[in-house]
Structure 1
Amino acid sequence: MIAVQEIGAFLANRLRIVDWRSRNPETATREIKAPLVIAGLSRTGTTILHDLLAQDRELHRAPLTWEVSRPVPPAAAEAYDNDPRIGTVQAEIDMGNQVMPDLMKFHPVGARLAQGCVRITASDFRSTSFPAQYRVPGYTRWLLNEADLASAYRWHRAFLQHLQTDEPPRRWLLKAPAHTWHLPALLAEYPDAVVIQLHRDPLRVMASVSGLVTYPRGAVSEGRTPAETAAEYAEPLLDAFARSEQARDNGLLPPDQVIDVRYRDLVADPLRTIRGIYDRLGTPLSASAAQAMREFLVVRPADTSPRYSFARTGLDANALRERLRGYQERFGVADEPLT
């Protein structure tokens, strides 16, 4: 039932946006210039960094959960913060939290919070949001190794153009761990994008992803243990780390288009890390934006608790360390304690 409802909603949003564009062809001329794209795998700090940077609304335009869920009509600029759809979407989120009451502890979601790109590309049915909820290993293999992601990123651009219909262009602030697998397609669509790539101990990432995916699947799909999920995700995650290195080796991500951030630095001092990002962008961090970020951290601090046990994955830590040594050395990623 949940899958049918979700798929129907993605299809309906796509049809509504296509219809809007057919009646408002000027939407397709809206410029998407040099988006700032947060990559890095799940549980590396991508969400908290996305949320913090989104507090600087003078410089950044992040897609928010409510407008990604209810994109038509595009929000009127003067009523953006008071759109009635905000309450509707928040009520749906609250209802979902009754089904999965602990999800907010792992991955905070709110109608007014920034939303990841996978909820946009889901309307093109090329999205890691599906295997994160449903056990569909054949789809996962197709998505990561066979699918042509060009159409997904074309749709992604059309979606952003739609959202900014009634406002002057600002720099889009985007986020999705899935971009790590699909950097060639991302940069083909947005060749001027600047990528912020987060890095964390890969074994902690594997443990966290295994635990995180197992939880929502228990509510909407076949029940799986963390070990079974880890076995399914281990090779795709190893492949993602390898693709991160390959993008540097083949020049796909030149130094002036990528900013590397270590998870340990982000959680130790978020504002210092963000100032470093702004320095790389050649943009000053305003006092008002910094204060908004501090206030956000008071309400939603970065989650540093070791919620997931590597031991429960059943994976061989020594063998994985050997395979990932080059990645960790290249990006200065230290081992974290494993439980």
Structure 2
Amino acid sequence: MTTEQEGFDYSNLPDVELTEAAVLAAAREKTGLSDFGDEADWKEGFTLLLKGLNEEARLSKIGRIVAFGEVLRHLENRLRVTDDIKRNPEILQVKIEKPVFLMGLPRTGSTILHDLMAQDPDNRVPMTWECNYMSPPPEAATYDTDPRIADCVAHLERTAAALIPEFQAIHEMGALLAQECLMLNAFDFKSQIFSNQFWVPTYQRWVESVDNLSVYRTHKRQLQYMQWKNPRARWVLKSTSYFWGLDAIMAVYPDAQIVMTHRDPIKLIASHCSLISMACSMGSDLIDKKEVGEFWSVTWEKAMKKFVEFRQSGKAENVFDMHFAELVKDQVGMVKRIYAHFGLPLTAATEQKMRAFIANNPKERHGTHRYTLEQFGLDPAQERERYRFYQDYFHVASEGQ
């Protein structure tokens, strides 16, 4: 249900000038800074995103306000982090060793796996609050009490939680939950996170085709920045868009430890389309579900092909394949298997923390998420055939339909 359908009062909302000049000026004014870093890293994506927001996203008045705020926040992060690193160049000497990458399509269990591995005190994960408000670098002594946590809670409450409360039933949000690298990639405006929030198909296709080497060089600098005053043994990272930069990830992180998550594509496509439709409805009253279905079905077919090509290439030697059905049967048992594969220590205390997390976060505590392929104009038989190559290669069982 959109804000207009609910009778939301637009009369008191200010008009927003969603232009490059306006948002850049706002970022400079809020921070008192002017150096955004090398334009080659971010300017093209920034320009294409603004173009898509104005020409394709069909934004409502409140959608323009939300979009302006999201773009502004990422520009502020660029300005502040760029300035912090200039003043503290030793940040770039921080070593990032054997990071664990959880990579897979959406709705394949990577979120719960990320949350469970975040319970290990040896693991460093990017939390939502520190991705939203990156500067200053987080410190170990105040990491659990940083005032940005409260700022992030307030931000979530006045945006998605307020405008689309049912979204929590699809994808839980929280300042103290592990965040995807989608948020970090937004730093360079080369991120699928914007396509998850707004209908910007031209921008998304560009994200899929752009050279990702600069993206993951920036990504490494971000990890160094966040780790500088709050180090742990290793990073555990997760994203549903690593597909577009697999070679770049291996170039920047040659010692990467990779977990590939797998699930019946039929189940994940319908679920993801439901998530996208709901997220985009926060800023638009004109979301076409069939348009969403066709676009994202093609998108994930391309991603699965990249997945298969990457594995066939042999470029990644240290890979663990995790199947959703096995994770559901025994979540902690799956974590143990992953730790054993990579030779990571798992203490009894950490295992207990993981079990406590599961007990305190039962499935569907925010409601039930119901969806079908037909809602998005997709034929189950045709979709099954579309993704058969992926299921055959990775031996992914069908879950019905």
Q: TM-score scaled by structure 2?
A: 0.80
Distance in 1 between residues matched to 2:254 and 2:186, nearest whole Å: 22
Which residue of structure 2 lines up, in the alignment, with residue 272 of structure 1?
Answer: 333
| 1:106 has 2:167 as partner | no
TM-superposed CA distance for 1:302, in Å, is 4.4
Supply the AA of the counterpart residue of 1:333: V
Q: Compute the RMSD of aligned alpha carbons.
A: 1.5
Q: Deviations over 1:219-243 (max 9, x none)?
A: 1135223322011111110011111
- Counterpart of 1:75 (choices 125, 138, 143) is 138
- 1:119 aligned onto 2:183: yes
**Residues 62-93 of structure 1: CA deviation (Å, up to 9, x unaligned):** 01111111111112211111111111111211
- Tell me the distance in 2 between the aligned counterparts of 1:290 and 1:223: 46
Aligned to 2:266: 203
- For these two proteins, the number of residue pairs brought into alignment is 334
- What 5-or-longer segments of structure 1 have no aligned partner? none
1:94 aligns with 2:94: no
From 318, 322, 329, give the equivalent of 1:261: 322
Q: Return the letter of the residue paired with 2:162.
A: Q
The 5-angstrom pairing of residues 122-201 of structure 1 reads: 122-145=186-209, 147-201=210-264
Gaps of 5+ in 2: 1-64
Aligned residue number for residue 287 of structure 1: 348
In 2, Cα distance between the equivalents of 1:100 and 1:306? 14
Spell out, residue by residue over 1:302-339, the C-alpha distance to the aligned partner (whole angstroms, 9 max, x if none). 4596622122122232233223223212222111123x
Aligned pair partner of 2:90 in 19, 26, 32: 26
Rounded to whole Å, the distance in 1 between the matches of 2:104 and 2:297 is 16
Partner deviation per Cα, 1:157-214 (whole Å, 9 max, x = no partner): 1111111111334200100010123211211211111111100001111111111100
- Measure, in 1, the Cα distance between the counterparts of 2:230 and 2:165: 36
Change (3 A) 1:241 1:319: same
In structure 1, how many angstroms separate the alpha carbons of the residues matched to 2:107 and 2:359? 20
- Rounded to whole Å, the distance in 1 between the matches of 2:199 and 2:105 is 19
C-alpha displacement at 1:284, in angstroms?
3.2
Identity of aligned residues (%): 38
The residue matched to 2:236 in structure 1 has which SS? Answer: strand
Q: What residue number does 2:362 align with?
A: 301
> Post-superposition shift, 1:290?
0.8
Deviates more, 1:316-325 or 1:210-219: 316-325
Kindly indicate whether the alpha-carbon contact (under 8 Å) linking 1:267 and 1:302 is maintained by their aligned counterparts in 2: no
CA distance in 1, matches of 2:190, 2:285: 21
Corresponding letter in the other structure for 1:278: Y
| Cα separation, 2, equivalents of 1:296 and 1:37 | 21
| Residues 79-88 or 302-311, more deviating | 302-311
Distance 1:98 1:123 in 2: 25
Relative to 1, partners in 2 of residues 1:90 and 1:248: Cα closer, same or farther, differing over 3 Å? Answer: same
Tell me the residue number matched to 1:212: 275
Q: For 2:98, give the aligned amino acid.
A: A
Change (3 A) 1:324 1:134: same
Say if 1:215 and 1:306 are closer, same or farther in 2 by CA, change over 3 A: closer
Looking at structure 2, the residues matched to 22 and 98 of structure 1 have their Cα atoms a distance apart, in angstroms, of: 38
**Aligned twin of 2:7:** none
C-alpha distance in structure 1 between counterparts of 2:251 and 2:261, whole Å: 21
Aligned 8 A contact 2:106 2:240 in 1: yes
1:316 corresponds to 2:379: yes
Moved over 4 A (4+): 302-306
For residue 344 of structure 2, what is the amino acid of its counterpart? Answer: T
- Aligned 8 A contact 2:169 2:368 in 1: no
Residue in structure 1 matched with residue 16 of structure 2 by the alignment: none
Q: Which of 179-188 and 122-131 deviates more?
A: 179-188
Structure whose alpha-carbon radius of gyration is higher: 2
Kindly provide the CA deviation profile for residues 268-297 of structure 1, in whole angstroms up to 9, marking residues without a partner as x: 210111111111011232111111111111
Q: TM-score, normalised by structure 1?
A: 0.95
Does the Cα contact within 8 Å between 2:169 and 2:369 map onto a contact in 1?
A: no
Secondary structure in 1 matching 2:241 = helix
